Amino acid sequence: MANLTASRVSTERVRKLRFFQEHEYISLDYARQDALRIRVRHPAPQPQFDFEPIPTRPEEPLAAELRAFVDAVRHRTAPLVDARAGRRALELADRVMAGILEHNQRVQLGAFAPPRAN
């Protein structure tokens, strides 16, 4: 299971991706540019956890993208992300948006909106 959190209307800048699996999860914080693995060492009734920072190299994302592009051109190597991967990412984003819209229609969130003034 994965959880992606990003909000433009939050009072806090949140850009996180979390991956959950049995007895651990990994949290990636894109705003802080850090990563953390949390493991359950001993489960309930008194759980114990291990917190393991995952090494990262903080870098401004657009600068990293441009550097990788220039390196690929200069050295005539395959880019880190090719056109096929970019297209798959866009297709996934489209499917996520379609799922959000479908869910919105099923639960009729509009019914909870305040009435508009005339």
**pLDDT tens profile 37-60:** 999 988 878 889 999 999 999 999
Tell me whether strands 34-42 and 15-21 are parallel, antiparallel or unpaired: unpaired
Phi-psi sector, 92: left (phi>0), alpha (psi -120 to 50), beta: alpha
Residues 67 and 4: their CA atoms lie apart, in Å, by: 26
- Is it the case that residue 67 has pLDDT exceeding 80? yes
pTM: 0.59
- Is it the case that residue 91 has pLDDT exceeding 90? yes
Average pLDDT over residues 71-76: 96
Sequence-distant (6+) residues with CB within 8 A of 24 are 37, 38, 39, 40
Residues 39 and 55: their CA atoms lie apart, in Å, by: 16
Question: In this predicted structure, what is the pLDDT of residue 15?
Answer: 84
Q: What is the residue-averaged pLDDT of the chain?
A: 87
Report which of 19, 47, 51, 23 is spatially closest to residue 38, judged by C-alpha positions. 51
